[in-house]
């Protein structure tokens, strides 16, 4: 058996052409041709090693990057993405700071809903989230 670290670009492309993946939810993916495939399973398939090989996803991604492939990390499943997220990715406009993320999220809240937010939320957030005792401050 070969080590996945010894793979060539041609071997990865050859494996990708015949690669079939039915599971969903791979966090790390790689773009080969016009297909987006799970990074670690593809590397293991190309190297001809079993699925219990100690190569982890991060190592597989580094192998693929070294070979010149585009890799992606997904924090959410593609089928759950909103149109706004897809549009911002297409136009290249991203949210650069936490303030922009919060601002974008709060714009979607109707004005009358803001009246339902407790005045002491910042002080008693644990009470409202977890039911702990309120602080009197």
Q: pLDDT digit string (tens) for 18-50?
A: 888 888 778 899 999 888 999 999 999 999 998
Whether residue 17 has pLDDT greater than 70: yes
What pLDDT is stored for residue 75 in this prediction?
A: 66
Whether residue 105 has pLDDT greater than 90: no
The string of DSSP codes covering 36-100 is EEEHHHHHHHHHT--TT-S--HHHHHHHHHHTT-EEEE-SS-GGG--HHHHHHHHHT----SHHH
Average pLDDT of the chain to the nearest whole number: 81
- What's the mean pLDDT in 115-120? 88
Q: What is the pTM of this model?
A: 0.53
């Amino acid at each position: 058996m070969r080590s996945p670290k010894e793979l060539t670009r041609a071997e990865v492309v050859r494996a990708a052409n015949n690669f079939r993946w039915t599971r969903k939810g791979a966090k790390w993916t790689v773009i080969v041709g016009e297909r987006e495939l799970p990074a670690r399973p593809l590397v293991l398939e190309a190297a001809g090693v079993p699925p219990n090989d100690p190569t982890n996803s991060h190592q597989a991604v580094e192998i693929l990057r070294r070979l010149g492939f585009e890799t992606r990390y997904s924090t959410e499943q593609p089928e759950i993405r909103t149109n706004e997220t897809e549009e911002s990715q297409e136009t290249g406009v991203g949210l650069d700071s936490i303030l922009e993320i919060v601002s974008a999220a709060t714009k979607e809240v109707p004005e009358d809903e803001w009246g339902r937010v407790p005045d002491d939320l910042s002080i008693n957030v644990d009470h409202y989230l977890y039911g702990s005792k309120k602080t009197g401050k």
